Chain A
Amino acid sequence: MATRRIVSQEKTLLEKDDSIGSSPAANEKSSIAPAVPTSVIMKLLAFTLGMIVIPIGSYFVTVDTVFKGNSTYAGALAAIMANVVLIGYIFVAMAEDQSEQQQGGGGAPSSTEGKKDR
């Protein structure tokens, strides 16, 4: 009787697969958070939607109301609005990069980041 199984503390077969490695058990929530932060995804979605809707939408809104049927000015306005979206994207991308630098570089090692940005 040197070794005796303590049956009360032993896990049953159903309890053994609580968490195997990185995969969670069935009753736990698995981590589905994306690697990219949600704010960045929302910005990209907003710019995608804006790129689709804003130029052609501004054309059809202003062609009969503002420009009284002069479709040339409305077409020029649509081209200008497309460039406005582009400039807005460039500013947002620059601000994104600067905020990541102040936080010490998101994801990338900060030593190489400082060396590159010198």
Chain B
Amino acid sequence: MNESEFSPKFAPFIGMGGIAAAMIFGCMGAAYGTAKSGIGIAGVGTFRPDLIMKCLIPVVMSGIIAVYSLVISVLIAQDLAPPGQGSNYSLFNGFMHLACGLSVGLTGLAAGYCIGIVGDKGVRSYMLQSRVFVGMVLILIFGEVLGLYGLIVALILNTKSKG
């Protein structure tokens, strides 16, 4: 392992911190979104069982948040290699992978929190007034787009490691 000023020994530690941050924070957001909207669906399903199919949309969206984190984790993990003669993992790559993981993870946490609250209150309102549905889906999409922005930033950051 050729250690230099630009690729110190601890550089892979920071990059793996990025992988862990992506999965941990993203799944925290997805779990909160699933659980909170699941509470709302359980409340709606006892009164209007025919609405359950449409009320499951926030749960599917929470799943997408976790898929974003998974994609970024796989992308970062493919750039990592055990230290050897050929591989040279610079500190720049390590911090960049940490930025990738934090951006997709924490925006996923924000999006999951938004989807959870909107999903809970939205499906309960939809049980009483069916016109809420379009507004609820739009708000859910705008909440989920927050996670998509983090994914886009992480994908753009990840291209810089090749150059």
Contacts and interface: CB of A to CB of B under 8 A. Distances in A.
A96 B56 CA distance: 13
A40 B67 contact: no
Interface residues of B, number: 29
Interface of B: 48-51, 53-54, 56-57, 60-61, 63-64, 67-68, 70-72, 74-75, 78, 128-130, 137, 148, 151, 155, 158-159
Contact of B72 (A51, A75, A89, A92): A75
B60 A89 contact: yes
A78 B71 contact: yes
Given A72-B75, A76-B155, A93 B148 contact: no
A117 B130 contact: yes
B44 to A, nearest CB: 12
Contact of A93 (B57, B74, B129, B130): B57
Interface residues of A, number: 32
A55 B60 contact: no
B23 to A, nearest CB: 13
Interface of A: 35, 40, 44, 47, 51, 55-56, 59, 71-72, 75-76, 78-79, 82-83, 85-86, 89-90, 92-94, 96-97, 100, 105-108, 116-117
Nearest to A115: B130
- Majority SS at the chain B contact face: helix
A108 B71 contact: no
A79 B147 CA distance: 11
Contact of B50 (A47, A71, A86, A106): A106
23 contacts: A55-B71, A56-B67, A56-B71, A56-B74, A59-B74, A71-B78, A72-B155, A72-B158, A75-B155, A75-B158, A78-B67, A79-B71, A86-B57, A86-B60, A89-B56, A90-B137, A93-B53, A93-B54, A93-B56, A97-B53, A100-B50, A108-B50, A116-B130
A53 to B, nearest CB: 11
